Amino acid sequence: MTDPTTPPSPDSRERRAWRTDHEWSRLSARIAAQPTLSRKRSPIAWWAAAAVAIAAAGIVTINRRAGHAPAIRAPSDEITGTAATTAGRRTVVLLPDSSVVTLGPASTIRYSFGRGARDVALDGMAEFRVTHDSLRRFSVHARNAVVTDIGTEFVVRAYASDSSVRVAVASGIVSLADSTLANERILLRANEVGGLALGGKPAIVRTADASRYTDWVGGRLAFEDESLARVAVELGRWFGVNVRVASPALAKRRVSGTYAQPTLSHVLDAIVASLGATYTKSGNEVVIEARPR
């Protein structure tokens, strides 16, 4: 059975995001075969029928998870929408400009696309593959940070429980700025990670590994010298469970590990083995505690 928490591979996401030419060819053949779309009809009637056929073919899939698609709008109109995941879920969202967002667990995006700008508000974690448009900037607003695309692929992590916003660049360049301080801005290039804490200045996190922030897109779960308390929070988001550490001393213990095809039991077994601890699971509740001596 396919793991519902595993997102499509990069190859499959690429196929999903760029099927337009293929589907249009199929659609054209369908239109040509319909006698009601003869050349004798006016252009307005032809395009009206084509629009109906497009809708029937299911080509427009914007914000499908949210359960609605935006109406056809004039180019000057603003297009807005929302997409969200619950704990234990990830999803891929195709934005109106064909940019692709992979949304992490327990995360929400709200977007507003107009003639002059493309703005996305993020609560949680997401990977962005942006279709560059020199006439319309693409900006991600996350807590006190503004991340502006300069033709790239990048991950933004900004959960409310995190001490700072993290931006990891897979390719291209982005700018990272404090939304309250216009002059506080840095550029991040491929394989660089930037951070911005509340009340701080944007900076390159030179000790960070950019791949650690992008592994989750392919379904990998990784921890690098994280406290068990932080790991417990991440496991809750990843698997949709409530993980509690029984003692403050145990919660401070450090955890490192990478799990290519993670399941809750697999990850918990590995963690408690490395810490000399044990865990119990009852329904949606997990308790990690020190092993009795």
Domains belonging to the chain, first-starting first, are 75-212 (2.60.120.1440), 220-290 (3.55.50.30)
Identify the pLDDT of residue 75: 46
Bridge partners for 189 per DSSP:
173
- Using pLDDT thresholds of 50, 70 and 90, give the confidence band for residue 56: very low
Q: Does position 254 have pLDDT exceeding 60, yes or no?
A: yes
Average pLDDT, the chain: 78
CA dist 139 and 174 (Å) reads 10
Q: Does position 248 have pLDDT exceeding 90, yes or no?
A: yes
CA dist 57 and 253 (Å) reads 54
Q: Does position 184 have pLDDT exceeding 80, yes or no?
A: no
What's the rounded mean pLDDT across residues 151-157?
Answer: 89
Q: Tell me the pLDDT tens digit for each residue of 190-208.
A: 889 999 998 888 999 877 7
Lowest mean pLDDT among 174-188, 219-233, 276-290: 174-188
| 30-34, 158-162, 198-202, 213-217: range with highest mean pLDDT | 158-162
Q: Tell me the pLDDT tens digit for each residue of 106-133.
A: 999 999 999 889 999 999 999 999 988 8
Lowest mean pLDDT among 19-28, 73-82, 252-261, 281-290: 19-28
Q: Does position 62 have pLDDT exceeding 60, yes or no?
A: no
Q: Does position 17 have pLDDT exceeding 90, yes or no?
A: no
Identify the pLDDT of residue 116: 87
Instruction: Please name the residues in contact with 246: beta carbons below 8 A apart, sequence gap of 6 or more.
Output: 287, 288, 289, 290
Q: Does position 67 have pLDDT exceeding 80, yes or no?
A: no
Over the Cα atoms of the chain, what is R_g? 23
| 94 vs 64, more confident | 94
Whether pTM > 0.75 for this model: the answer is no
**Residue 256: phi, psi to the nearest 5?**
-135, 140
